Structure 1
Amino acid sequence: MTTTTADAFTTSADGTRIAYDLTGPNPGLAPAIVVVDGVLAHRLPITLAVATELGDRATTLRYDRRGRGDSGDTPPYSVDREIDDLAALLEVTGPAALLGISSGAFLALRAAADLGSRVTGVLCYEPPYDVASGAAPTDPRMIAGVENCIEVGDPGSAVELFLDVVGMPCRLLPRMRESPSWADLEAIAPTIAYDGRVLAGVALGRRALMGRWDTIGQPVLVVDGAASAAPVAVAAESLAAVLPAGRRVTLPGHGTDVPPEAMADAVAGLLRRTGGR
């Protein structure tokens, strides 16, 4: 029977406590996969379902990125500190593959470039940016606009701004605000800007990923769903094309809300490529 641990904690290089749980065999008894969530997400039920579906095929570690859930946060934010968080988690699992979801895909790729052999492979599920487009990786409102809202003590407006950035119709906002999950979104609203900086780092800065694709030699699966929107397919194809060991996988009949068993099979396929059982 597959079991999930209660919350455990590790400590990042700057002293921040990072909360995580483990599903499957104890570390070292099976290949490991670390789930890297996207914007406004932390340890979602779907990733627990994927971990349960993997069962004894993998040790699955899910964690709260800094500033979310039960993890701490130490200012000032930097993407480097999130890489330190992953390094601390890899001390728990040993060398492991990463499952990066949406914007988390680019954080996972940054970790693969920075941490070398400690990251054995990456599965990028529906990365949100077409790396061949030449467009800015992120809307400036996702950083400056969100940070301004947080500074004046209005996290709800920060969430609304992000939802506008991703194209959610305004008519749906009242229903969103009335939902039980709205308070949780407000609680982690500052981290929207963190993901904005992760995305900006794809093309900007001295360590931009666009100048470092050839350093990511680990196997990478770029996965999308056949029923997803056309821009998702374009982004997946563009990312797979620039990675030395990249391969695109499209899950037939599925969209963004992929069934856990299909995602688990994709993860198992990556683990086989990295030498896992």
Structure 2
Amino acid sequence: MQTVISKDGTQIAYEKLGKGPAVVLIVGALASRSDHAKLVQLLSPDFTVYNYDRRGRGDSGDNRPYSVEREVEDIEALIDEAGGSANVYGISSGACLALEATAALGDKVKNLAVYEPPYDEAEGEAEKWKEYSLKLDQLLAADRRSDAVEFHMKFVGASGIAILAMKVLPGWQGMKALAPTIAYDVKVVGENRSVPVERVARIKANTLVMDGGASIESMPFMRATADKLAKTIPNAQRRTIEGEGHNVGEKVLAPVIREFFHEENQPASYTGSILPQ
């Protein structure tokens, strides 16, 4: 493990593996760098992979107050450590953070790949998001971490049976430890959960926007969100990974990321589907 100090003095922990162009990996909610361990192994033969704990997670610090801008500064510190420019990949709310960072950091992000950023502009969803955010804040303020994790899991579609099963597994304690950072992900996704059109339109990097073919059944808004992002970001490509849901398989995802980061001059108008292997 190595560390870098962010602009506000927060220590950010990361692991570096591989040789080649730099790639920074960004996890989503209730995840730490260990959740990208398999992806690191798959990408490291071609890239120098920077796999880090977002602030408040794992071995990283958590200076307050929190803001999305501070998380962008964390990514900037990692990119500077990598030599001043890097490719960036983010999944779920980590994809939203990757979009924010790329819009803010300009040429420091060479290429960007995002998988299913969970913006949702369907009718009535903004109000549901505000109610969810308020209830989550109340649970966290009362330090009811287990209840906060359960509430979040239900909101994103986990069944009661699935949650009961998760509670008896060792991973539940890890999620409880990460519970306060769910509020950070809420801020990253945004107050209304809408696509931040003005900001992403400023993105200069070649961008790959992905969704999973199986998500159309469980999370249909992911398709509309990915389509809107690809139309808004100037140099964007759009791909669907067939057969995959929100928890995309690393063995299917890694070749897509590898191809995109290697072939940065591919025409931005390309769209297509990636079949599962």
Under TM normalisation by the shorter chain, which class is it?
Answer: 0.7 to 0.9
Q: Which residue does the alignment assign to 1:89? A: 78
User: Match of 1:71?
Assistant: 60
Q: Which amino acid aligns with 1:211?
A: E
Q: Say yes or no: does 1:198 pair with 2:188.
A: yes
SS at match of 1:249: strand
Instruction: Report the alpha carbon displacement of residue 260 of structure 1 after superposing the two structures with TM.
Output: 2.5
Kept in 2, the 8 Å contact 1:53–1:261? The answer is: yes
The size of the alignment, in residue pairs, is: 261
- Asked if structure 2 preserves the Cα contact closer than 8 Å seen for 1:146 and 1:158, the reply is yes
Give the 3 Å change call, closer, same or farther, for CA 154–43 of structure 1 in structure 2.
same
Q: Does 1:236 align with 2:226?
A: yes
Q: Which residue of 2 aligns with 1:143?
A: 133
Whole-angstrom CA distance in 1 between matches of 2:122 and 2:111:
22
TM-score if structure 1 supplies the norm length? 0.86
Aligned to 2:212: 225
Tell me, yes or no, if structure 1 residue 113 matches structure 2 residue 107: no
Q: What SS does structure 2 have at the residue aligned with 1:211?
A: helix
TM-fit CA distance, 1:9 = 0.6
Question: d(CA) in 2 for partners of 1:125 and 1:138?
Answer: 23
Cα deviations by residue, 1:129-175 (Å, 9 ceiling, x for unpaired): 24687952971245332222222121111111111211222233332
Residues 1-277 of structure 1: pairs in structure 2 closer than 5 A? 7-25=1-19, 30-45=20-35, 47-94=36-83, 95-130=85-120, 135-136=125-126, 139-200=129-190, 209-230=196-217, 231=220, 232-274=222-264
Per-residue CA distance 1:233-257 (angstroms, 9 max, x = gap): 2322222121111111112333334
After superposition, the Cα gap between the structure-2 partners of 1:253 and 1:172, relative to the gap in structure 1 and judged at 3 Å, is: closer
Please give the TM-score of this superposition, normalised by the length of structure 2.
Answer: 0.86
The 2-side partners of 1:144 and 1:274 are apart by 42
The answer as to whether partners of 2:100 and 2:200 remain within 8 angstroms in 1 is no
Aligned to 1:4: none
- CA–CA distance in 1 between the matches of 2:95 and 2:238? 14
Deviations 1:99-118 (A, max 9, x none): 11011111101101111111
**Unmatched runs of 5 consecutive residues or more in structure 2:** 266-277
Per-residue Cα deviation, 1:245-273 (whole angstroms, up to 9, x for no partner): 11111123333343323222111122124
Identity %: 38
Instruction: Give the equivalent residue in structure 2 for 1:3.
Output: none
Unaligned runs of 5+ in 1: 1-6
- SS of 2:237's equivalent in the other structure is strand
Whether the 8 Å contact between 1:101 and 1:126 is mirrored in structure 2 is: yes
Tell me the SS of whatever aligns to 1:156: helix
What CA RMSD, in Å, does the superposition of the two structures yield over aligned residues? 2.3
